[in-house]
Amino acid sequence: MSPRPLGPESSSDFESFVARARDGEFDAAIEGVVSVAGQSAHREWRARAVDALARIGRLAEAGGDLERSERAAHEAARLAPGFADVHYRLACARLAMQRRTEARRDLENALRIHPRYVAARVELALLDAREGMLGEALGMLRQLSGEVREEGATSFGRGLASLEQADWDEAGAHFRQALSLGDANLAVQEFHTRRERGDRPGARRVLVEALGIHDGFADLHCLLGTVELEEGAFDDALASFCRALELQPDYHAARLQLARTLESLGDPVQAEEQAALVLEVDPRHPQALELCERWTRLHRKRNAAGTVLARPSAGEESETA
């Protein structure tokens, strides 16, 4: 795996704590990240720590441990009080726990740092609606609808319709889907723009930051995996492509990238199986066919080389005779 130096220690320290969280050791994982983060005041080092805490928080939430999810978000906000997104994530954690007064304060903190933070403004409007200020909330959300990209406009409109019927949960789900589509697609566009300019570190940062908010967007995981594959960070790439496929099992591009990663890790059998899965669905898929044809040629060369090596020399043949 290729190193990614960001501070006094290898950033793999943070990955080890995320791994502990996957095993359910949330308190130890949070404490570990906070301890290592204290070794440097560098902004990018703190950003990596905050990203690790966000991932730990999502793992805790997925496991139903809202208290640990909120704790991870709280520590992230303490480490990076100037990052609007950490206050937003803390607000979301507290909203899940029905701690609305604290969540409102967190959303206001996020908006003080980034007044045009659309996701925070939407959540604040939803809070207003729940607390009896439905007209004000609808007015704010109608203004915000013009800032939503066309990919999410339909979902945003459905959210407004649900809110008019006082269906808070349904409205919230539609608004979040709309923002996820728009913001994540903007991140993909920014990634490609930076890559074309030759700013590979900046392109990677765009993906990491976007995934901190949009972990459920398969394209972002696939792009990050592609970067990791190019850098030779094969284990990381494997995890990224698997996450993309977990979210979208018919994502052929991610499955073929997974096949290339498995080949790089020395597992050609699994690699060929992944390409075969694509061909089962789309027998004419050009990239899958190209991979399988290349592997077929390699097998023929190896078989031919094995036949030559196994064939006895002329002297050996005469002795046998």
Q: Which residues contact 180 (CB under 8 A, 6 or more apart)?
A: 152, 214, 216, 217
pTM score over 0.85: no
Q: Between residues 63 and 143, which one has the greater pLDDT?
A: 63
Tell the burial category of 171 from Cβ atoms under 10 Å away from its Cβ (0-12, 13-18, 19+): buried
Mean pLDDT along residues 91-116:
89
7 versus 201: which is more confidently predicted? Answer: 201
Name, in order, each residue with C-beta under 8 angstroms of 108's C-beta and a sequence gap of 6 or more.
Answer: 124
pLDDT surpasses 90 at 27: yes
Residue 68 has pLDDT above 80, yes or no: yes
More confident site: 162 or 78: 78
Residue, of 112 and 116, whose pLDDT is higher: 112
Q: Does pLDDT of 246 surpass 60?
A: yes
Calculate mean pLDDT across residues 68-84.
Answer: 91
CA terminus-to-terminus distance, the chain: 54
The mean pLDDT of 297-321, rounded to a whole number, is 63
Q: Average the pLDDT over each of 108-122, 218-232, 235-249 and give the range with the smallest value.
A: 108-122
Return the domain boundaries, the chain. 216-310
Residue 152 is predicted with a pLDDT of 64
CATH code 1.25.40.10 for 216-310? yes
Residue 182: name the closest of 151, 146, 217, 154 by CA: 151
HSE, side-chain direction, 13 A CA sphere, residue 91: 24
User: Residues 217, 191: contact at Cβ < 8 Å?
Assistant: no
pLDDT at residue number 147: 59
Tell whether the model's pLDDT for residue 254 goes beyond 60.
yes
Amino acid at 38: G
pLDDT digits (tens, 9 = 90+) for 122-140: 888 888 878 778 777 777 7
> Which of these ranges, 9-18, 89-98, 266-275, has the smallest mean pLDDT?
9-18
CA–CA dist 162, 172 (Å, integer): 9
